[in-house]
Structure 1
Amino acid sequence: MIPLRNITYWLLWIAAGTTFVVDNQVFGGPEQPSSPDLTDDHQKVAIFAGGCFWCMESPFAQLKGVVTVESGYTGGTTTDPTYENYMAGGHVEAVRIVYDSGQITYKALLDTFWRQIDPTDTGGQFVDRGSGYMPAIFYQDEDQRIQAEQSKNELAASGLFAKPPAIPILPATPFYRAEEYHQGFYKRNPLHYANYRQGSGRDAFLRKIWPQQTAASQESDQELRKRLTPLQYEVTRKNGTEPPFDNAYWNNHQEGIYVDIVSGEPLFASTDKFDSGTGWPSFTRPLVPENIVEKADRTLLTHRTEVRSKMGNTHLGHVFSDGPPPTGLRYCINSAALRFVPKEQLAREGLEHFKTLFGTKR
């Protein structure tokens, strides 16, 4: 069964065999070794399977006390499985988490795990179907087993789901580290990752079940307050407006793209930027229309159209119908909601496919 995460990747895989090229990077080659033993007596291991392992790395990696998160294969009977044959050996995609038990508990990891999956679906997860995407908890010892069972029972009693959780709780088997191109995929290929999460149905499901938790890849409000400046937080989370002519990008003429300061999703390009005379960055159109959400705004006793980002739910600004050709639109955006990525740094951030924008106006 060929996964549906990114059809471009899988076509390249078929064409090139065990070694293939994506975005000028060569992937595949020799098998990856199994995960090494722990080197710190205070470290412990947790292993969870929740469908696509790309989507399971990020939520755990941002937790305080988590040392490492790696993608791999486990639960099967064969040794040294690869991406091409792990299902045939009975393995599932999983993540192996090394954590400091003095900073974070196994229960906290379990709570995070439940909030990434559909615990009533044992035939796969979301768009990915088949045995290789079966969710499961793999316990390391009797204490983990007891905690996992208790956590599962608590989830069943919560009434969040129409059916009881059916996730198996199994003894851990050897874990085999996946190929290097799978490791940290959410960081190295943020656009592919964001598009996959959205298209797979995972994020929509999680937003419905956990209304206080938006996309699993987003930071908590407390974490955002620490990372953002007061002005950035006021604009992005409180729908604020920064001063005109006194912001980072109103007069920026460099070539590159502008991404959401919260989520990193691509929003606008310098090729569509123009001087509107307003003192705020202005664009004729979005770079990725699917990443923009427009909403009616009547807060100033007049009708305006607010612009927000889809993944980050970030307040960006407003769009008006007094812009120049070819669209006649003016996306008036707060610099505080944006981060600029110069064209020379696009490859470093996994955005190299946007380099074709530069040299000619769209």
Structure 2
Amino acid sequence: MSTASLMEHEDIFDILRKLASVPTVTGYEQNARETIKELLSGYVDDFWTTSWDNSVAVINPAGKKRLLFAAHVDQIGFIVTSIDESGYLKFSPIGGWDARVAYGSKVTVITSKGSIRGVIGTIPPHLMKEKEKKIDFKELVIDIGVDSKKEAEEAGVRVGDYIALHSEPELIGKHRVIGSGMDDKAGLASIIYAARMLATRKNELGDISVYFVATVQEEIGLRGASMIGYELKPDVAVIVDVTHAKSPETKEIAFVELGKGPVISIGPIYHREITESLIEIAEKHGIMYQREADPRGAGTDAWAIQIARGGVKTGLVSVPNRYMHSGVEMVDLRDMFNLARLLVEYSVSMKI
């Protein structure tokens, strides 16, 4: 990345880098609480975590109407299911995985004694029979560099320990970042950056309280969003997630592109009033954006928030993400920056 390109989005990249450096496999999101709090410190009026580790911040808490921006902090990963006599770890996936993507990946095993590096391995393809070459999680193991179950246990490994991909975010090209967990730390970094920008325009919010939430357990059923929708009782919610960006293997099913702006979803579960307002504000302020038709609406926190209590007017804005649910998810800093701008302008323009 050129110096000019990096400087233009240095703050948002720094937020993303700090979030991505903390493994937050679904079920182990508490690992990120202090990082999120630190990133928002000095920009919000209050911050707290709920009983299930949703992280909540608010600007202008005295407002009578509540606007919610939410992005999930959890990422797909694995959990240790057994340790064999040679010290290899058997494991099961948490969230949506393809075993072909997992094979050969570096991982971090999170133990009570600290983090341990490992690698996911199996029988090398050239030693397999042709019919065995289809990779399945049952054939995969994690090698942590020990020779016995006793050594693995002495290192701190126990059944039930969480495992995350080990992939630090890395700049690639002029504007893009690759790494694991961009789903949805790219979205979370965007709303944190929006909170920082909105802090300087707090006087424009009037009677609107703006809540910024890092939700948990999205990857296994939108559970954190279900809790927060019930607890906060927002009047309006805009969920921020990632969506599939066009690539050679997805060109028939993915139609949005990296670097062309955040993606506003249009479909039955997204309140038309919210969707139209987001589009109108983007066009008014010259914010590049893309549209995506979503006839079902399943798979993001918007699904859970929309039906909270008596129903919440909900919209969805996403960061295009190439190679989702892999160790090399790719996002564009320009899309994240423009998404943050859109949230800020929406906050100061909306009337509930």
Give the number of the structure with larger relative contact order, counting CA–CA contacts within 8 Å between residues 6 or more apart: 2
Same fold (TM over 0.5): no
What's the TM-score once normalised by structure 2's chain length?
0.25
Structure 1 or 2, whichever has the larger Rg, is 1
